[in-house]
Every structure is written in C-alpha cells, then in structure tokens.
Amino acid sequence: MLWEASEKPSTRKWSDRALQNRPSGYIAREGRTVQTSAMRGGAVPFNLLPIPNANTDETEGHPASTPYDLAAWWSRYILPPKVVLLAMFCGSGTMLAAGLDNGASKVVDIEKERKYLEVAKRRVG
C-alpha cells in the first residue's frame, strides 16, 4: 500500500496520468481519476486502500492486528444491516468494534488466546 506517490509517477503531471486507455478498451474519465489520485496523495493503482499500520495501544501488541479503517471498510462493504457478526479469530477485537459501528446488531467472538479475548471484550464493551 502506498502513502505517497513514488518518485517517478509524482514527477509526471496529473493530466498525463489521468486519461488512460486500458487493454480492455475502457478509457478512464480524467476528472474522476485526477480527483481520486489527489485524494490518495498520488497513490496508484487506484484499487489500493492506503491505511496506516495497525500496531496501536488498543491492540496491546497483537501480532496480526487489523487496522480499524480497513475493518470498517470491509464491514460497510460486506455486512447487511442488523446482522450477527461472527469473528472466528477475533484477536484484539478490531473487526468486532468496526462491525458494531457499521450496522451489526451483535458480535460473536472466538479467540484461543485469553489475553486477546480480554482486550477484545474491553474494546467492544
């Protein structure tokens, strides 16, 4: 995932990068492409989600923590309203918290490490 454009693309003008003829024959719309690229700080390709590292105090050192913004994006994308979210490997509870924030009516968590189960319970409430 890119936070900034690499040196080579950033030296090109936005308008040079905006209109692209794709192998499929699709031509990207200049205005939308420029807007998206500017919003992402020049990060390409456009199907990346630029999200910071998830190692925060909230996760209390979980080795595979998911960034909250990514969990929130997935939960908005996947969860129907008022669904029960099952997190089979809940870790520090990021997906649980994001699911509740984005329409899940209830969350069920499964975690083999008691330490992280306690972290998840504190985060979710």
The structure tokens listed for 88 are 């089979």
pLDDT 10s digits, 77-94: 889 989 999 988 888 899
Q: What does the alpha-carbon distance between residue 73 and residue 9 come to, in Å, rounded to a whole number?
A: 27
Q: The whole model's pTM is what?
A: 0.58
pLDDT at residue number 51: 64
Q: Which CATH number fits domain 57-124: 3.40.50.1220, 3.40.50.720, 3.40.50.150, 3.10.20.30?
A: 3.40.50.150
More confident residue, 101 or 66: 101
Q: Give the pLDDT band of residue 1 (cuts 50, 70, 90).
A: very low
Nearest to 94 by CA among 114, 53, 66: 66
Q: Any idea where the domains of the chain sit in the sequence?
A: 1-50, 57-124
pLDDT in tens, 28-79: 666 666 676 677 666 555 566 666 666 667 777 777 778 888 889 889 988 9
